[in-house]
Amino acid sequence: MGRGNKQIESAMAQTDIAERVYNHTWKLDPIIRSLLDTDFYKFLMLQMIWGLYSDVDVTFSLINRTKTVRLADEIDEGELRAQLDHARTLKFTKKEMIWLAGNTFYGRKQIFTPDFLHWLQGFQLPEYELTRKDGQYILNFEGPWTHTTMWEIPALSIINELRSRAAMRNLGRFELDILYARAKAKMWSKVERLKKYPDIRISDFGTRRRHSFLWQRWCVEALKEGIGRSFTGTSNVLLAMNNDLEAIGTNAHELPMVVAALANNDEELRTAPYRVMQDWNRYYGGNLLVALPDAFGTAAFLRNAPQWVADWTGFRPDSAPPIEGGERIIKWWKDHGKDPREKLIVFSDALDVDTIEETYKHFQGRVRMSFGWGTNLTNDFAGCAPDDIKELDAISLVCKVTHANGRPAVKLSDNPEKAIGEPSEIRRYLQFFGNEERVSKPVRV
Amino acid sequence: MGRGNKQIESAMAQTDIAERVYNHTWKLDPIIRSLLDTDFYKFLMLQMIWGLYSDVDVTFSLINRTKTVRLADEIDEGELRAQLDHARTLKFTKKEMIWLAGNTFYGRKQIFTPDFLHWLQGFQLPEYELTRKDGQYILNFEGPWTHTTMWEIPALSIINELRSRAAMRNLGRFELDILYARAKAKMWSKVERLKKYPDIRISDFGTRRRHSFLWQRWCVEALKEGIGRSFTGTSNVLLAMNNDLEAIGTNAHELPMVVAALANNDEELRTAPYRVMQDWNRYYGGNLLVALPDAFGTAAFLRNAPQWVADWTGFRPDSAPPIEGGERIIKWWKDHGKDPREKLIVFSDALDVDTIEETYKHFQGRVRMSFGWGTNLTNDFAGCAPDDIKELDAISLVCKVTHANGRPAVKLSDNPEKAIGEPSEIRRYLQFFGNEERVSKPVRV
């Protein structure tokens, strides 16, 4: 029994003094701790950009669509610079390089060439330009596309996590305890709803908008634990590596946006999205042949598409309402002689359990589906704080291509609220690609 | 930045080897770690028992009213013995004795006499007898009332916590995380409901039925944080001391039960409850004059009560439905010329937020009220486990006086389901005190 008593005293009184002093003198709690802490599609695109567009300069810019949130008032500039500076010190570790080279992605071995990996080994994030205007940060990344593209995800995760940290700064230990207990309970009730559909396919797309790295990790663990094989993986490469999950993702709007911006004539502009797809097809294949149809409007994309587009595995409608967008694509496949049941639609815009359930039930048995669940997976704290904290609500923050070789870049999307670019350029693109079937809906996240 | 990088590696890789080995070789995680980890009323009663009944032998026995739960199958006998044995090694520490002597209880300084405290200093829990029968434990504490009375609360907390531990033994780390996150979220939603009534008065009476010591502590912290001055304190003396809260409690059924068992004639039996109150009045006063009317039925108690009973501060109806029981007492006060608004009713039977709200609204403005919240405060895990675990549901476990100086003891209560004693003795008491107004309701907790 003596042992018992000694343990009690120890449990009550023992503090690891070294650890405590160490924790209390931390200068920085880094948000980005690995260059793999980014979305997988960045690597797939990067290999192609490095191969085909290594001479193109591309500017990425932070865009806060939630104008009511004054980021420069919420987040301290010194802290932001310290986090961005810290991310710039990172290099791929030996373990990470070995994993990228040796892992199987989408069923393919050696998806990355030795030359590309050799180049990647020396990679570091390039410089940034940070100023402030009207309560917002103006954050630009200018330089070779091969470098600036890699800022998108870490820049967004850093700003979103700094915003969460600021929002929670005044919470006591107990309030934080309640906050995370409720967030966990809330997340788990979503998991239990999704469990009801054993054939559903869901992956985590929430890196950029996450509340924090640790919270994203918890959400990923929750999905792995809760829905098992229905959880097909995570877009986050670091989490995929550490949790033995599939790294998920294909390509993004930046590819057609840059190629369109570089177009020298109407024909080049019209065919830009398809040229990107042809290049992609040369680099990758099979399950990676998932097209993003909405860069300049899905209607125009489908109308102008060559027949071979129907041979691709699937589409990722990223701004149309999921049921309407999905129906349009299914009709197009049928019109082009394809059986939609052999095709894949990846839904990824503004999903939450309600939308996922509704969409899944609607299309079940008619097409293969996959859900890339983002903001509402990794940053849903509504109703979780003991007293409402509006700064914990996710915002619509993106980091997008604004210029390519000095020319302005444009994204139209199927939702006019998500259009990006200079107003005169947006008008020009609209005139060129048309404005059919674009549906305005508020962009919350 | 070097500092940042060093920190990352440290955070990821550092394990305190000594602590880990120490934790992994624990022989016992003691449930009772202090003799103050019991209900405050035990000390108030003990002082009087020590003063007036030091020559009386009283047997306390474990009674599991939830017959469907086979405790001896759920809980390992070796673990139970180890915990009981460990509790027997405890003595009051110097700090604890100083606090008992120096603290103000119910507004009174030096509520405990120096002589009593001197005796208490040498106190240790006495022997126990443990056998098993039909899947249940037979656990008896025989000996001087001054000693056996102190087993009631630790015996119950030990068995309840061992049962929780057994119920959770097969849960993984993630499932435990969800379990406690949900329990916290659930508890906090109760706190938020109670917050709506700034004049409500609630205290923690949940020691005996708690899920675990740490969980009770968390619930007490939650009430302190959440409802502030509406939280009037805790019955748990250790938690009161460590959290600077009021220690709450007055007296229990064991006093009239023992005195009634020792009665040599009808007159002594009839007056037993009032004699206990007269003794109590000599020892304590003011806010501590709260009577427990239901030991042999509230109707008989009120019918036979001398006029001076109406001068007491209040009643604690412990087995009647709260609204009916409260109305009966209010009527009795009025019949005896008292203004109920100057009187106190302490509700303490089977409370949860619904009952508390309903009762509070019903009596608001008509009588002073206080709610002693027990099992549903410190042991409500319904719906919290990822998969339902029925072993986490609280059971109706009590530890009651069964004999005094060899004579059988009886409790009738206002709910026949809560009656305790040998059947022939219960019949004798019923004949003597009458069976009016006793309402049967299922005893869940």
* Among candidate residues B290, B238, B397, the one with its CA nearest the CA of residue B45: B290
Alpha carbons A315 and B430: distance in angstroms, whole number: 80
Q: How far off is chain A from B2, nearest CA to CA, in Å?
A: 9
Confidence check: pLDDT of A8 > 70: no
Nearest to B174 among A10, A28, A225 (CB): A225
pLDDT tens track for A36-74: 999 999 999 999 999 999 999 999 999 999 999 999 999
Residues belonging to chain A = 445
Q: B266-283 and B423-433 are packed helices; what angle lies between their axes, rounded to 10 degrees?
A: 80
Model pLDDT, residue B7: 46
Confidence check: pLDDT of B241 > 60: yes
Judge whether B308 is closer than 8 Å to chain A, CB to CB.
Answer: no
Mutation for testing the B interface, residue in A19, A35, A84, A174 having most B CBs under 10 Å: A174
Nearest to A3 among B1, B16, B27 (CB): B27
Alpha carbons B374 and A276: distance in angstroms, whole number: 67
**Pair A183, A287 in one domain:** yes
CB contacts, 8 Å: A5 with chain B = 89
**Pair A358, A289 in one domain:** yes
**Pair A160, A272 in one domain:** no
Count CB atoms within 10 A of the CB of residue B431: 9
Residue B391 covered by a domain: no
Q: Which residues of B189-220 are buried (b: 16+ CB within 10 A; e: fewer)?
A: ebbeebeebeebbbbbbbbbbbbbbebbbbbb
Model pLDDT, residue A11: 46
Judge whether A214 is closer than 8 Å to chain B, CB to CB.
Answer: no
Q: In a 3-state reduction of DSSP, which class is residue A74?
A: helix
Judge whether B7 is closer than 8 Å to chain A, CB to CB.
Answer: yes
Model pLDDT, residue B80: 98
Number of domains in chain B: 2
**Pair A286, A229 in one domain:** yes
- The range of the structural domain enclosing residue B141 comes to 34-171+397-409
| Span between the terminal Cα atoms of chain A, in Å | 58
Which of the four pLDDT bands, split at 50, 70 and 90, describes residue A7? very low
Confidence check: pLDDT of A10 > 60: no
Model pLDDT, residue A20: 81
Nearest to B188 among A27, A85, A178 (CB): A178
**Pair B193, B280 in one domain:** yes
Q: What is the mean pLDDT of residues A113-137?
A: 98
Alpha carbons B412 and A379: distance in angstroms, whole number: 56
Q: How far off is chain B from A287, nearest CA to CA, in Å?
A: 32
Q: What is the mean pLDDT of residues B45-58?
A: 98
Q: Do A181 and B178 touch (CB under 8 A)?
A: no
Confidence check: pLDDT of A3 > 50: no
**Pair B250, B190 in one domain:** yes
Judge whether B181 is closer than 8 Å to chain A, CB to CB.
Answer: yes
Residue B421 covered by a domain: no
Structure tokens at A2: 């003596």
Q: Which residues contact A247 (CB under 8 A, 6 or more apart)?
A: A40, A103, A105, A233, A234, A235, A236, A237, A240, A241
Residue A111 covered by a domain: yes
Q: In a 3-state reduction of DSSP, which class is residue B386?
A: coil
Residue A7 covered by a domain: no
Nearest to B184 among A5, A178, A222 (CB): A178
Residue B19 covered by a domain: no
- For B16, which residue in chain A has the nearest alpha carbon? A16
Alpha carbons A9 and A13: distance in angstroms, whole number: 6
Under DSSP, the state recorded for B388 is -
Q: What is the mean pLDDT of residues B59-83?
A: 97
Residue A134 covered by a domain: yes
Q: Do A86 and B4 touch (CB under 8 A)?
A: yes
Residue with tokens 């003990």: B46
Q: What is the mean pLDDT of residues A217-233?
A: 97
Chain A / chain B CB contacts < 8 angstroms: 87
Q: What is the mean pLDDT of residues B237-250?
A: 96
Which of the four pLDDT bands, split at 50, 70 and 90, describes residue A84? very high
Q: Do B8 and A222 touch (CB under 8 A)?
A: no
Greatest mean pLDDT range, A154-168, B15-29, B282-296: A154-168
Contact, B439 vs B417, CB < 8 A?
no
**Pair A178, A166 in one domain:** no
| Span between the terminal Cα atoms of chain B, in Å | 58
* Among candidate residues B67, B73, B120, the one with its CA nearest the CA of residue B93: B120
Q: Report the mean per-residue pLDDT for chain A.
A: 94
pTM: 0.91
Structure tokens at A329: 């694509």
Residue A23 covered by a domain: no
Confidence check: pLDDT of A425 > 70: yes
DSSP string over A249-306: ----THHHHHHHHT--SHHHHHHHHHHHHHHHHHH--GGG-EE-TTTT-HHHHHHH--
**Pair B323, B219 in one domain:** yes
CA distances from A434 to A48, A441, B186 (A): 29, 19, 53
Q: How far off is chain B from A75, nearest CA to CA, in Å?
A: 20
With a pLDDT cut of 90, the percent of chain A lying above it is 89
Judge whether A178 is closer than 8 Å to chain B, CB to CB.
Answer: yes
Model pLDDT, residue A13: 54
CB contacts, 8 Å: A186 with chain B = 185
pLDDT tens track for A251-266: 999 999 999 999 999 9
Model pLDDT, residue A5: 46
**Pair A226, A167 in one domain:** no
- For A184, which residue in chain B has the nearest alpha carbon? B181
**Pair B219, B146 in one domain:** no
Mutation for testing the B interface, residue in A175, A178, A220 having most B CBs under 10 Å: A178
Confidence check: pLDDT of B10 > 60: no
CA distances from A399 to A38, A119, A153, A252 (A): 13, 24, 8, 12
With a threshold of 0.85, tell me whether the complex ipTM lies above it: yes
Q: What is the mean pLDDT of residues B410-423?
A: 94
Q: Which residues contact A178 (CB under 8 A, 6 or more apart)?
A: A384, A385, A386, B184, B185, B188, B222
Alpha carbons A442 and B12: distance in angstroms, whole number: 41
Confidence check: pLDDT of B360 > 60: yes
Q: Which residues contact B272 (CB under 8 A, 6 or more apart)?
A: B256, B259, B260, B263
B332 alpha-carbon distance from chain centroid: 27
pLDDT tens track for B114-131: 999 999 999 999 999 999
Q: What is the mean pLDDT of residues A187-193?
A: 97
Structure tokens at B22: 């120490």
CB contacts, 8 Å: A30 with chain B = 4, 7-8
Alpha carbons A205 and A216: distance in angstroms, whole number: 10
Instruction: Give the strands of the sheet with A290-291, arranged side by side.
Output: A231-234, A202-204, A368-373, A344-347, A314-315, A290-291
pLDDT tens track for B132-173: 999 999 999 999 999 999 999 999 999 999 999 999 999 999
pLDDT tens track for A373-404: 999 999 999 999 988 999 999 999 999 999 99
**Pair B167, B218 in one domain:** no
- For B218, which residue in chain A has the nearest alpha carbon? A174
Rg over CA atoms, chain B: 23
Model pLDDT, residue A17: 80
Give me the phi and psi of B381, to 5 degrees please: -110, 15
Structure tokens at A202: 């869901």
Q: What is the mean pLDDT of residues B108-117?
A: 96
Q: What is the mean pLDDT of residues B290-298?
A: 96
With a pLDDT cut of 70, the percent of chain A lying above it is 97
Confidence check: pLDDT of B9 > 70: no
Model pLDDT, residue B286: 82
Q: What is the mean pLDDT of residues A228-243?
A: 97
Model pLDDT, residue B285: 83
Model pLDDT, residue B13: 55
Hey, CA dihedral for B435, B438, B439, B440, is it positive or negative? negative
Residue B303 covered by a domain: yes
**Pair B96, B153 in one domain:** yes
Q: Do A221 and B174 touch (CB under 8 A)?
A: yes
CATH of the domain at A178: 3.20.140.10
Confidence check: pLDDT of B12 > 60: no
